[in-house]
Amino acid sequence: MHLSVLTFIIALPLLTGIVILLLPMSEKKAPRLLALISSLIALALSVWAYARYDIPAGGYQFIQKVDWLPALGISYHVGVDGISLPLVLLAGIVTASGVAVSWNIEERPREFFSFLMFLAASVFGVFCSLDLFMLFFFFEMAVFPKYLMILIWGSPKTREYGAMKLTLYLFLGSVVALVGVLAMVFLSGANTFDMLALEKAGFAADFQRLWFPFVFFGFAVLGGLFPFHSWAPDGHVAAPTAVSMLLAGVEMKVGAFAALRAGIMLLPEGARYWAYVILALATVNVVYGALIALVQTDFKYVIGFSSVSHMGLVMIGFATLNREGLMGAGLQMFSHGVMTALFFAIVGMVYDRTHTREINRLGGLIKVMPMAAVGFIISGLVSMGMPGFSGFTAEFPVFMGAWRSAPIVAVVAVLGIIVTAGYILLVVRRVFFGELPENMTGIIENVSGLDKFTIGFLSLIMIALGLFPSLMVPLVNSGVDRILLILGGR
Amino acid sequence: MLIGHLLSLILFLPTIAALFMIFLPADRPRMLRLFAFFTSLLPFVLTLILWGRFDSQIQGYQFVENTPWYPAIGSSYHLGVDGLSLPMVLLTTLLVPLSILASTTIKTHQKSFLMLFLFLETGLLGVFLSLDLLLFFVFWEIGLIPMYFIINQWGGENRNYASLKFILYTMAGSLGLLLAIQMMGAASGTFDLIKLTSTWPDTSPLPLFGLSPATVKAVAFWAFVLAFAIKVPVWPFHTWLPDAHTEAPTPGSMILAGVLLKLGAYGFLRLVLPLFPTESHQFAGWLAVLAAISIVFGALGAYGQNDFKRLVAYSSVNHMGFVVLGVAAAAMAAGTQHAIIAVNGAVMQMFNHGLSAAGMFFLVGVLYERAHTRDLTRFGGLWSILPVYGGVLMFTAMASLGLPGLGGFVSEFLVVRGAWAVYPLATALSMIGLFFTGVYILKALKMVLQGPLNEEWNSKLTEIRLDELVIMVPLMVLMLVNGIWPAWLLEMINKAAMAVF
Amino acid sequence: MGISSGNITPILSILPEILLLILALVVLGLDLGLKKFSPALIGWVTVVGLIFSAIGGVMISGHQSGGLYIWGGMLRQDAAASVFQVIFITGAALTAFFALEDSKCVSAEFYFLLLISTLGMCLLAASSDLIMIYLSLELASIPLYILAGFHYRETSSVEAGLKYMLYGAVASTIMVFGFTFLYGFSGTTQLYAINAAIQTGQIPPMVTTMAVMLILAGVGYKISAVPFHFWAPDVYEGAPTVVAGFISTASKAAGFAVLLRLALTILPVLSPYSPYLLAAMAVASMLVGNLLAINQKNFKRLLAYSSIAQAGYILVGVAASNNLGAAGVTYYLMAYLVTNLTAFALAQVIGQANSNDDISSLAGLTQRSPVLAFSLLVSLLSLGGIPPFAGFVGKLLVFSAGVQAGMAWLVIVAVLNSVLSLYYYLKVLKIAFLDHPRETPLIKIETNSWRIAFIVCLAGILILGVIILPWYGWSITAASSLALY
C-alpha cells in the first residue's frame, strides 16, 4: 500500500506516545529519549517533505486517501500545500524543541512525554488533514493531553483555572465550528467531509454568509481572535514550558489554519461578506494585546498577551483576502510559532532557576545566562518586526495587504509595533540587564548545553527566514495561489 | 568577480568579522580589539579601491548589484553608489576603525561591544548603499539595535533612560516611514528606488480615509520627513540627542554623531526630494524655518551647557541644521544652480561634520577618561599642562566653528550661498546662528584651555597619548584637506547633485 | 401489510428471546440443583448463554433487514430489532461479568432477573403493537425494580427499588392512557396500521398531540429524559452499582429502541409538533442534566445527571426523525453502552475499595491504580464526546442528523451543552489525576471476569471511536429497516 510521508509524521508521535505510556512507571530516562528520537525523526521527515515539495506544481502533495466512512464521505485523507507544509515543519521544530527543553523534568516523566507526543500527533494530524472529520478528530484528540499537562505540570497557582479555561474555550470554539461544518456537509446537500470536494461544492451566497461566522469564528477562538482570546494568556501562563511552546507556538496556528481552510477556502463568499468584521476585531487584537502586555508584571503573561497581539496580524492577513495579506499571514504563522516557542522556552529556563516570574524581582540575568538573554533579545526583535528577522518578512506583506483592502487597519495596527517594542525592551531591561538581585547572586546556573542548542537552533531559523525570505516565500505563495483562485482571482 | 561584488564585500565584511569573533576568547580584550580594528580596516581599504575605480564623470549609480531578494512583494537586493553616497561610505568606513581604536575606554564585555560595533557598521553602510526602498528600511532599522545596546550596556549613569528615549524616538519616527513605504509598495508593486523615482511622482497613492490623492501624498511625504527629521535631528525633534550622546561611551558617540545623524540627512537627499518633488517644493519653506531654528537654538542650547559632552552634542543640532537648510533650499529651487550649490554644501557639510563631531567627542572622551568629570566649570588653563591636547582641541574646534581654511567653512559657505537666493530670511537667521556657534565654541575653549588652572589637575592630568593622537591625525588631515582643496570631494558630489536635481 | 404466518419462521425470528428464556430457566435450575458449585459458575453460564443468544440475534439481523411481521403483527423482526437486541444482550453479558465482583449480587436470582429483563427489552425492540410494547416494557422493567433493591440490607438500595417502581408504574400507566387514545382514533393497536388509519382520519391535532405527550411521558421515564427524570439520581445512587450501570445503558437503550420506532412511524403523523416536543425534551434534558451535574459530590449521582444529559443528546437524533438520525441514535447507544458501563464498573470497584461513592475519594487515583485512572479518563472523555473515543462518533452522527433535519439551533444548544459537560468531566479527572489521595490502599480487583468485561468495554470504546465503518453499517441498516412504513 502506498504510504504518504505525512502518515509517518502523524503516526510516529502517536505510537511513541502509546509505547511510552506502556513503559514501567519506574522508567525515568527511556521516555525522554524515546520522545526526543521520535520527535527528531518527525522533524527530519517534515524537513524532507519540505524539501521535496514540488512548488511549480503546487496544490496538495504527499496525498494519501483511505476510506474511513464512505457513506458520509469521511476518509483518512492527508496532503499538504504551501500553507500547511510550513506549519507541519513548525510543529516538527516546536515539538523537538519542547522535548529538548523539558529534558530534566522530574515529575512523572513517563506521562509527560507520552502526552507531549499525543499533542504533537494531534497538531500534525490537523495540519495534514484534507478531511474535515479527520481535522476535528485530530484536533479534539488533544483535549486530554492539553488539560492534563497543564493540570499536572503547570504552575501551581493558576493551573486548575488555566487548564479548564483553555480546554473549554478550545473545545467551545471547535464545536461551534463543527456546527458550521455540519451545515456545509449536510444542509447544502454536499454530503461529504472531504475538503477538496467541498471546495467545489459552490454553496449559495446566502448559505455562505450565514454559516461562515460559525466556522471562521469558531476556529478563530483557537487562533486567539478578540474577544475570544482570553484563554490564551491564562492557559499559556499556567502551562509547563513545553506545553506553552506547543500551545502558543502551534496550537494557535491550528485555529488560524483551520479558519482559513474550512472558513475562507470553503466559504469564500462568506469571507468577503465578513472580512471587515474580522479586520476590525483583529486590529483590536493587535493593539489591545500589545497594550495589555505592556502593563503585565508577570514575565510569562507578557509573552502570553504578545501572542494574542501577533495572532491578530495573522487574522488581518487572512481578512485582506489578497495575495500580500495571505502570504504574510502564512509566513507570520510560522515566524510567530518559532518566536513564541523560543520566548516560552526562555521564560521556562528563567523560572526554573529563579522560581519567580515577577519582572520586578528579576534582573541582571544576562550575567549568569547570557545565551538565554541573547535568545530572548532575538525573539524580541522578531516580535517587534525588526527588519532582518522573520517577523519583518512576515508582517510587512500583511501590512501591504491591509493597505490594499483597508488602509485604516494598517494605520491603526502599526501602533501595535511601537507598543511591542516598548514591552519587549522593558522586559529585556528589567529581566536581563541591570543588577542581579541579592538573593539570586551565586546560585543561578547557566542554561544547559541542550538548552543552548535549542535557543541557537530556533534563533537561526528566525534569522535565516529574515535574511532569505525565499526559503519559504515561494512555497507559501504557491498555497496562496490556490486560495486566490478560490476567491475568484481577486 | 570581486569587483563586481565590491559593495557587498564592503557591506558584509564587518558582519562576517563579527560572526568570526564569536569563536575568539572573551578574556583577551587587546587581541579582540586589534582583530576588530584590522578587519574593519578591510572595508576602508576596499572603499579606497572603490573610490579609485569610481568614475566621477558618469552620472548615475555605479558598481550596481541587483538580485531578487523578496520577489513576492517586489523587493530586491539592489546596491549601488553615486556621488552622494560614496562620501558617506568613506566617512563610515573611516570612522569605524578609528572608533574601535578609541574603545580602550570600554572595560567590560569587550567582545560583545566590538561585535555590536561591527554589526552597526553593516547597518550604517547598508543605508547608504541600498537602492531599494525596503532594503533601505531594513538597514535603517537594523542600525538601531546595536546602537541601543551600546548605549544601554556601556553608557553613563543615565544610560537606561537615554537608550530607551533614543530607540523609542527613532522607532516612533520610523513607524510613519514604514507605513508610507508599505503604501508605496502596495500602490506601485515595486520597491526599486530607481523605478520608483521615475514612476512614483506620477503614481496615485492608495486611498486613505477618503482623503484626496494629493493629501495622501502629502501625508506620506510628512511621514518620510518626520522619520528623517528625528534622526538628523531637526528642532523640535532633537531632544533624544543630547541624552543619547552624553550617555553613550566615547566610540558610540563618535559613530552616533559622525555617521548616524547623517542617515537622516541622506534620507532627505536620497528619498524625500526625488520621490516627492512636488510636495518637497510645496513644503520646503517649513523645512527651512525648522532648519533655521535648529541652527539658532542648537547654538544657544550648546552655549547654555556646562557639561562638555552635552555642549558638543548640542553643537550637532546646530551644524546639522545647515544640512537641512541646504536640503530645503534644494527642494524649493530644484532644477536651478542654487539647488545644486546647496546640495553640494549639504553633502560636504555632512562629511565635514562627521569628521569634526567625531573628533570633538573623542577629545571630550580623552579628557573625561583622565579627569572623570566633564564639568566645564572645574576645568581651565589646561593648555599650560597639556599643550599638545590643547592644540588638537583648538584645531578641531576651529574646524567645527567654520574657520576658513578648514573643512567646515567651505561647506557652510556653500549652503549659505545656495540658500541665500531661495530663503534670504532663514539664511540670515542662520548666519546669526553661526555667530552663536562661534560663541559657544569659544566658551568651551576658554573654560577648558584658558584662564587660571584648577590646581587639582596639576599633577593628575597626563598628556594625550600617541595611540590617541593616531586617531586624531587622520581626522585633522582631512579637515585641513577639505578646507584647502575641497575639489577632490566636491567634483564627485556635484556630478551626482546635478543628476538628482 | 404482509403478515406472514405458519411454518418455522416465527420461531426462528424470536430465537434470541427463546434462548434467553431457556438460559434464565437453566440459571434457576443450576441454583436449585447444583448448590455446591461456586456461584461464579452461574455468572459464567449466563455470559456464555448470552453470547449464544447474541449470535442468534446477529444471524437474524443479517438475513431479514426488510422487516417481517410475526406473531399476528405483535412483533416486527427487522434489522433494528436485531441490532438493539445485540446491544441489550451485550449489556447484560457485561453486567453479568461485572456483577461477579460484587459478592452481594452473586446469586441465581440476580442473574435470572437480569435475563428476564433482557428478554423484555429484546421483545420491546421488536414490538410493533401497542399492547406488545406495554407488555414487554413491563417485562423489562419489573425485574429491574427488584434488582435496584437487591442490596436489601441497605436502606438506600431498598429505597431506590421502591422509588424506581413507583415512578415506573405511574409512567407506564400514563403511557397506556396515551395508547388508549391511539386505539380510539384508529381502531387498531398495530403500529404500522395506526399510521395508515390516522393519515386518513380527521382528528383534531390538539387531541393527537395530547396523546403523543402521554406516550412520550412513558418512554421519557424509561430513557430518563427531563421532565421524567426525577427517579434517576436517587436510583443510580442507591441501587447496586452494577444494576445502575445496566439501567443507565441497556434499559435506556430499550427505551430509545421503542421511541425510535414510534418517532419514525406514528409520531410525525399523529402530530406535526412531535419533532418540537422531542426537541424540547432534548433541550431540557441536556440543560438540566448538565447544570445539575456540575455540583454533584457523589460520583454515581454525577453519572446519573450526566446520563440524563446524554439522553438529551440522543434525543437530538430522535427529533431529527431521519435516517441518519436513527443510525446516529443506534450508534450512540452502542458507544454509550460500553462507555457508561466502563464508568459504572469503575464506580463499582472504587466505591467498594473506599466504601463510599464520593467524587473526592477518587483523589489520587492515578497513584492508587494508574490503569483505572486512565480508564476513567477514557470513559469520561468518551462521554464528553472527545475523539478517538466512541462518544465522539456518536455525537457527531446525531448532531449531523440534527443539522440535516434543519434543526441547527438544536445542534447549537447541544454542542454548547457538550462544552458544559466537559467541564464537570474534566473536574473529575482533575481530582483523579492531580489531587493527593486521602486513602492510599491500592485498588484490588478480585475477579478475572470483571477484568475481561472491563477490557472489552475499553476496547469497545476505542474500536467504536476509530473503526467506524462496520458499526455504522449496522446502524444504518437498522435505521433503514425502521423507516419502512
Q: Which chains touch B (3 or more CB pairs under 8 A)?
A: A
Contact A403/B at CB under 8 A = yes
pLDDT digits over A28-37, tens only? 888 889 999 9
- Average pLDDT (B221-239) is 85
Contact list in A for residue C381 (CB cut-off 8 A) is 143-144
Nearest-Cα residue of chain A relative to residue B207: A407
Q: Of A378-387, B163-172, C137-146, give the lowest mean pLDDT range.
A: B163-172
pLDDT at B298 over 70: yes
Q: How large is the average pLDDT for residues A227-246?
A: 87
Of the residues C378, C383, C404, C426, the best mutation for testing chain A's interface (the one with the most A CB atoms within 10 Å of its CB) is C426
- Residue of chain A whose alpha carbon sits nearest to that of C374: A21
Whether C230 has a pLDDT exceeding 60, the answer reads yes
Higher pLDDT among residues B432 and C145, named by residue: C145
- What pLDDT score does C3 carry? 41
Q: What is the CA radius of gyration of chain C?
A: 21
Q: Which of A165-169, A352-356, B6-10 has the highest mean pLDDT?
A: A165-169
Give percent of chain A above pLDDT 70: 99
Cell 554644501 belongs to which residue? B345
Range scoring the smallest mean pLDDT among A81-85, B471-475, C334-338: B471-475
Over residues A48-76, mean pLDDT: 89
pLDDT above 70: percentage of residues in chain C = 92
| Interface touch A393/B69, C-beta < 8 Å | no
The pLDDT tens digits of the residues spanning C78-114 come to 888 888 988 999 999 999 999 888 888 788 888 899 9
A175 touches chain B (CB under 8 A): no
Question: Is the Cα torsion angle C384, C385, C386, C389 positive or negative in sign?
Answer: positive
**Max mean pLDDT range (A436-445, C195-204, C221-230, C303-312):** C303-312
Specify the pLDDT at position C201.
Answer: 62
Find out whether C160 and C133 touch, Cβ atoms under 8 Å.
no
A87 has a pLDDT exceeding 80: yes
Q: What is the mean pLDDT of residues B150-170?
A: 82
Quick one: pLDDT at residue C259? Answer: 92
Contact A419/B at CB under 8 A:
no
Which of A381, A424, A425, A473 to probe the B interface (max B CBs under 10 A)? A425
pLDDT at C58: 65
Contact (CB<8Å) B73/A433: no
Residues of C in contact with A137 (CB under 8 A): 387-388, 392
What are the CA-CA distances from residue C464 to residues A255, B8, B378, C472 (Å)? Answer: 27, 64, 90, 9
* Main-chain dihedrals φ then ψ at residue B78, nearest 5 degrees: -125, 110
The residue assigned the cell 476505542 is C462
Burial class for B356, CB neighbours closer than 10 Å (0-12, 13-18, 19+): buried
User: For A152, which residue in chain C has the nearest alpha carbon?
Assistant: C434
> Who among C387, C404, C472 is closest to A137 (CB)?
C387
Q: A470 and B134 in contact by Cβ < 8 A?
A: no
- Given a cut of 70, whether residue B452 has pLDDT beyond it is yes
Average pLDDT over residues B279-290: 85
Contact A425/B167, CB-based, under 8 Å? yes
User: Which chain C residues are Cβ-neighbours of A152 within 8 angstroms?
Assistant: 433-434
Task: Tell me the chain C residues in contact with residue A151 when contact means C-beta distances shorter than 8 Å.
Answer: 430, 433-434
A69, A70, A179 member nearest C408 (Cβ):
A179
Asked if B72 lies within 8 A of A397 by C-beta distance, the reply is: yes
Give the range of the structural domain holding residue B132, as residue numbers without chain letter.
3-500
As to burial, measured by CB atoms within 10 angstroms (0-12 exposed, 13-18 middle, 19+ buried), residue B407 is buried
C435 CA: distance to closest CA in chain A (Å): 9
Which residues in chain C have their CB less than 8 angstroms from residue A160's CB? 430, 434
Arithmetic mean of pLDDT, A260-274: 90
**Which of left, alpha, beta for C187 (phi over 0: left; psi -120 to 50: alpha)?**
left
Q: Is the pLDDT of residue B279 over 60?
A: yes
Write the ipTM.
0.89
Cell of A79: 496532503
Who among A400, A408, A473 is closest to B182 (CB)?
A400
Give me Rg for the CA atoms of chain B.
Answer: 22
Size of interface A-C (CB pairs under 8 A): 95
Residue of A nearest to C389 (CA): A141
Q: Percent of chain C scored above 90 by pLDDT?
A: 43
Does residue C485 have a pLDDT over 70?
Answer: no
Judge: C415–A176 Cβ closer than 8 Å, yes or no.
yes
Contact indicator for A222, A254 with CB cutoff of 8 Å: yes
Min CA distance, A239 vs chain C (Å)?
14
HSE-up (13 A, CA, CB side) for residue B409: 15
Distance to chain C for A172, nearest Cα, Å: 6
Predicted local distance difference test score (pLDDT) of residue C6: 46
Shortest distance, CA B141 to any CA of chain A (angstroms): 6
Main-chain dihedrals φ then ψ at residue A107, nearest 5 degrees: -85, 125
Touching subunits for chain C (3+ Cβ pairs under 8 A): A
Q: Which residues of C touch A118 (CB under 8 A)?
A: none
Contact between chains at B164 and A327 (C-beta distance less than 8 A): no
pLDDT beyond 90 at B305: no
User: Per-residue pLDDT averaged across C37-53, rounded?
Assistant: 80
- Mean pLDDT of all residues belonging to chain C: 86
Minimum CA–CA partner of C409 in chain A: A179
How large is the average pLDDT for residues B346-350? 88
The minimum CA-CA distance between A35 and chain C, rounded to whole Å, is 20
Interface residue ranges in chain C relative to chain A, Cβ cutoff 8 Å: 324, 370, 374, 377, 381, 384, 386-388, 392, 396, 399-400, 403-404, 406, 408, 411-412, 415-416, 418-419, 422-423, 426-427, 429-430, 433-434, 468-469, 472, 476
Q: At what angle do helices B407-420 and B308-332 cross, to 10 degrees?
A: 40
Q: Does A411 touch chain B (CB under 8 A)?
A: yes
Q: Which of B67-71, B209-213, B422-426, C21-25 has the lowest mean pLDDT?
A: B209-213
Residue C313 is predicted with a pLDDT of 94
| Nearest-by-Cβ selection for A164 from C403, C426, C472 | C426
Of B322, B262, B274, B334, the closest CA to residue B298 belongs to B322
Question: Is residue C61 predicted with pLDDT exceeding 60?
Answer: no
Contact residues, chain B, for A401 at CB < 8 Å = 186
Interface of B to A at Cβ within 8 Å reads 68-73, 134, 137-142, 145, 148, 152-153, 160, 164, 167-168, 171-172, 175, 178-179, 182-183, 185-187, 206-209
To 10 degrees, what angle do helices C448-466 and C39-63 make? 30
Average pLDDT over residues B374-396: 81
* Cβ pair A407:B142 closer than 8 A: no
> Which chain A residues are closer than 8 Å to C416 by Cβ?
172, 175
Using CB atoms, pick whichever of A399, A418, A473 lies closest to residue B72. Answer: A473
Chain B positions touching A425 (Cβ under 8 A) are 148, 164, 167
Q: How many domains does chain B contain in total?
A: 1
Give partners of A (≥3 CB pairs < 8 A): B, C
- Taking the Cβ of residue A374 and every Cβ of chain B, the question of whether any pair is shorter than 8 Å is answered with no
For residues A317-325, average pLDDT: 90
* pLDDT tens digit sequence for B463-494: 778 888 888 888 888 888 888 888 888 888 88
Neighbour tally for C248: CB within 10 Å: 30
pLDDT at C382: 93
pLDDT band at C144 (very low <50, low <70, confident <90, very high): very high
Q: Assess whether pLDDT exceeds 60 at residue B1.
A: no
Q: Which three cell numbers stand for residue C280?
A: 424540547
Own/partner pairs, C355-360, CB within 8 angstroms, 24+ separation: C357/C237, C357/C241, C357/C298, C357/C299, C357/C300, C358/C297, C358/C298, C358/C299, C359/C296, C359/C297, C359/C298, C359/C299, C359/C302, C359/C428, C359/C431, C360/C297, C360/C431, C360/C435, C360/C438
Comparison of pLDDT for B410 and C3, the residue scoring more: B410
Tell whether the model's pLDDT for residue A292 goes beyond 80: yes
| B182:A410 CB<8 A | yes
Q: Check if the beta carbon of residue C316 is closer than 8 Å to that of residue C399.
A: yes
Please indicate whether, in this complex, the C-beta atoms of C386 and A140 are within 8 angstroms of each other: yes
* CB–CB contact A163 C399 (8 Å): no
B208 pLDDT higher than 90: no
User: To which H or E segment does residue A151 belong?
Assistant: helix A143-153
- Closest approach of chain A CAs to the CA of B305, in angstroms? 29
Residue B499 has pLDDT above 80, yes or no: no
Give the mean model confidence (pLDDT) for residues A5-19. 92
Mean of per-residue pLDDT scores for chain B: 84
